[in-house]
Chains A and B, each alone.
Chain A
Amino acid sequence: MFKNYFKIAIAVLKRRKFFTFISLFGISFTLTVLMVATAFVNKVVSSDYPDLKRDRCLYVNRVEMRNTKEGWYNQSSPSYYLAEHYISTLKVPQKISISSFSRRTNAYVNDKKIFIEYQFTNADYWTVGDFIFLEGKPYTQQQISNAERVAVISESTKKAYFGDVPVAVGKYIEADNVSYRVIGVVKGVSKTMQVYYADLYLPYTVSKTDYKRKSLMGDYKVILLAGTKADVSRMKQEFNAMIAKVPIDNKQYDKMYIHADGAFEDLCRRMVGDGLNSGVFKLVSLVGLVVFLFLLLPTINLVNINITRIMERSSEIGVRKAFGASSRTLVYQFIVENLILTFIGGGIGLIFSILVIYQINALELIPNLDLRLNVSVLLYSLLACLFFGLLSGVYPAWRMSRLNVVRALKS
């Protein structure tokens, strides 16, 4: 039966080439935009180098204090003190990564200026994140305790600072007017990976600012790694119980919110949420609304064209109805035909999106961003095709099934 539908669909497509072109143009363009957007969202949302253990991690990024009477609030990130003095006491996490947010400074090589983003990290940072070391290795706990001036640099920093040398390990890099010995080179991290993106990684003990300052708010971020997936919820409970006991160090405020969030929750909280609300619902509905509005115009257009095409086929429908085909069969047939059309459009869209993604990667609009059409992106695109096909096929099919047999046959 499907084979028949397929044959009919192809025959219909060949009959009115102009309409076919309009439909395919609309479908493939719409799906191209959707696929590229999906590839981007997928890049941001899913586990990616070097954040591969995402499902076992919880992220602590913000400290929010509120004065519930006056309505003031103050929001910042955790301090090293909070991470070391309170969070490190937790028993469930296997590893606790502590690192500063990226700061920027300059380095000068042969009178050329390079912008360098650098992070201060602890030793666990290198085991929680799965970095690929092209050369050398990370600094050890011993080196951190000794406050040795050693550095791990990214691939692009090596190229920018040392040029095309085979080995950078053992050389010295001068950034922020301090000289550091390079002990490792890592593969570049995508800029979308905010937690791990930097050009230069340094032991926190060489930080120029006073990292021991006894304040809860500071410039650091913490990642908790659980031993197994099952431990994550236990880890969260332990974290919340511990935070509830931390005294607020500022008398202006009476409530404090510090969350250990999963990766997606953390992303939502950073973008639209606050201490009280994680913003997952807000972000998801916002994205849904944008997608809906974007789909509205192509869908109406396609519905319009589909109706026109069906009306053209009214004699065929009349004959089939007269010979006893039920409305349901006709609706199915039309929806299947429309889905076939959508999938052909989807195929063309896929080719276009590969081209667009190749262009985006080549332009390097975002450092180290390497968009890919992987299995999950393809799966989402397939879903988008199905959704779009149904959306634009159901109403015309319904209109068709209500066609009066006598009038249809008369024409």
Chain B
Amino acid sequence: MFKHLFKLMWNKRKHNFLFLSEILVSFMVIFAISSFLIYYFQNYSKERGLDYEKVWSVSYDESYKTKNSDSLTMYYENLKNVIKALPEVEEVSFSSNNIPYANSISTTSITFKGKSFDGINQYLVGEGYKKVWNMNLEEGRWFTKEDEVAKDRPIVINETLKRDLFGDQSAVGKSTADYEGNKKLKIIGVVQDFKANGDFQPSGRAMFWKVDTAAFRWLNSLLIKVGPKADAAFESRLYKLISNTMKNSSIEITHVSELRISKNEATVMPMIIFSIIAGFLILNVALGLFGVLWYNINKRKGEIGLRRAIGASGSSVSLQLVAESFVLASMSLIVGVFFALQFPLLGVYNVPSAVYLTAILLSVGFIYVLVILCALYPGKQAAAILPAVALHEE
């Protein structure tokens, strides 16, 4: 039956051209939106990997000017110790300014077995960093004081980078080289992935260096994990304390939980706007399809009446009309799926293929449901056509 219907529709392809292109474009819109939604949902359902509550970030600009790196280190270590000594503070760590949820990104690449791995988020961190974020260690250990004098610079990597480099094998104790392939880097630990770009973005590859004396010249962030007793009054006191220590610097204290909200909003808000617009577009299309199908059935009264007169049942007439729309939708979808399949095949935007494939399935299902829903009522109306009346008009 479908072969026959397909032939019928194929012969009328020129007549149905607009109908076909409308379904095609709708499919593309649904595919785009659902790809995004599935991608974000997949990321959202992964573990966060860090604890952002009660973490404050302090940013400052270059304040202490000296050529002597020993006194520079002393100055900053002293600042850290003063803050850590406060009863409300649980842990303090220096950090490069690409702290989780901030709008700053710093990436690098490494060379492993002659191959370059790029797009690695690099974090320059202090010893307390792991405790500040309550990060989970998968294997090996975190940085200690002794790492400063190690011959090969020690690094900690995250799960994703470990999997890319070593697969299922253990990474601890192995070495890799920096982006130029010159300096040896020794992996001392692997931490669980953490979603630094908000709950809806993937963690990506990440790698941690320990802060060294040279870094103090340009570092400008301090992370503080505070206890339950830390309130606004404490924050105001802390602010005074830091500004009085760093006389020439501008200070800003931000709660990481606020950064997280705005980071998540940056993903969610455009999605909401696009989804609303797409929703209206689809509603628009659905109404349009409904109208056109309805009209077509009215025009084919004669044909339908004839079929009824020679014995076709009402339900088989309405089934034919629904099946016709189904075939029409399939013709568009074949073209649409062909284009959509290029995304996973070419690996566009580094999104996992599973996301695109699920999105294609979902969109195909959605379009079928939409078209069949729009055809049901006109089909039912066609079934109600009385052969005598229809043939009389003709």
Contact = CB atoms under 8 A, between A and B. Distances in A.
Contact of B285 (A21, A33, A112, A297): A297
B303 interface: no
A253 to B, nearest CB: 20
A305 B250 contact: no
B284 interface: yes
Nearest to A33: B277
A22 interface: yes
Given A111-B233, A300-B18, A300-B21, A305 B240 contact: no
B251 A301 contact: no
Contact of A297 (B25, B239, B244): B25
Contacts of B244: 177
Interface string A292-305: 00101110111111
A372 B250 CA distance: 37
Nearest to B296: A308
A29 B248 contact: no
Given A26-B288, A308-B292, A298 B281 contact: yes
Interface string B261-303: 0000000000000000100110111011011101100010000
A408 B292 CA distance: 19
Nearest to A176: B250
B284 A26 contact: yes
Given A26-B288, A111-B232, A208-B248, A177 B243 contact: yes
A208 B249 contact: yes
B11 interface: no
A101 to B, nearest CB: 13
B94 interface: no
Interface in A97-156: 103-106, 108, 111-113
A108 B239 CA distance: 9
Interface in A291-343: 294, 296-298, 300-305, 307-308, 311-312
A308 B253 contact: no
B25 A304 contact: no
B252 interface: yes
B267 to A, nearest CB: 15
B70 interface: no
Nearest to A302: B288
Contacts of A22: 284, 287-288, 290-291
A177 B239 contact: yes
A209 B22 contact: no
B236 interface: yes
Contact of A113 (B29, B61, B235, B284): B235
A302 B284 CA distance: 9
Contacts of B280: 29
B164 interface: no
A387 interface: no
B293 to A, nearest CB: 10
Contacts of A103: 250
A329 to B, nearest CB: 25
B253 A303 contact: no
Contact of A308 (B236, B283, B285, B291): B291
A19 interface: yes
Interface residues of B, number: 37
Nearest to B242: A177
A29 B277 CA distance: 9
B284 A106 contact: no
B287 A105 contact: no
Nearest to A209: B61
Most buried by B among A18, A298, A308, A312: A308
Contacts of A208: 248-250
A281 interface: no
A294 B19 CA distance: 18
Interface in A1-44: 18-19, 21-22, 25-26, 29-30, 33
Nearest to A109: B236
A296 B281 CA distance: 10
Given A177-B243, A298-B284, A312-B295, A307 B25 contact: no
B363 interface: no
Contacts of A177: 239-240, 243-244, 251
A296 B280 CA distance: 14
B390 to A, nearest CB: 15
Contact of B291 (A19, A113, A298): A19
Contacts of A19: 291
B291 A305 contact: yes
B291 A18 contact: yes
Given A29-B284, A105-B251, A106-B253, A307 B232 contact: no
Most buried by A among B26, B232, B281, B290: B281
Contacts of B290: 22
Contacts of B283: 25
Given A108-B235, A308-B291, A300 B277 contact: no
Given A176-B251, A208-B248, A297-B281, A304 B288 contact: yes
B180 interface: no
B168 interface: no
Contacts of B26: 297
Interface in B110-148: none
Given A111-B231, A111-B236, A112-B232, A301 B285 contact: yes
B322 to A, nearest CB: 19
Contacts of B281: 297-298
A25 B284 contact: yes
Contact of B252 (A25, A106, A303, A307): A106
Nearest to A396: B18
Most buried by A among B18, B239, B252, B285: B18
A113 B291 CA distance: 57
Contact of B250 (A18, A209, A301, A304): A209
Nearest to A111: B232
Most buried by B among A21, A108, A296, A301: A301
A79 to B, nearest CB: 15
A113 B294 CA distance: 62
Most buried by B among A18, A21, A208: A208
Interface string A58-86: 00000000000000000000000000000
Nearest to A296: B25
Contacts of B61: 209
Given A177-B244, A305-B291, A312-B295, A106 B18 contact: no
Contacts of B291: 18-19, 22, 305, 308
Given A177-B240, A297-B281, A105 B250 contact: yes
Nearest to B282: A297
Contacts of A29: 280, 284
Contacts of A105: 250-252
6 shortest interchain CB distances as A-B pairs? A177-B243, A301-B288, A108-B236, A111-B232, A22-B287, A26-B284
Interface of A: 18-19, 21-22, 25-26, 29-30, 33, 103-106, 108, 111-113, 176-177, 208-209, 294, 296-298, 300-305, 307-308, 311-312
8 contacts: A18-B291, A25-B283, A105-B252, A106-B239, A111-B236, A208-B249, A301-B285, A304-B292
Given A21-B287, A113-B232, A301-B284, 4 more contacts: A25-B287, A111-B231, A177-B243, A308-B291
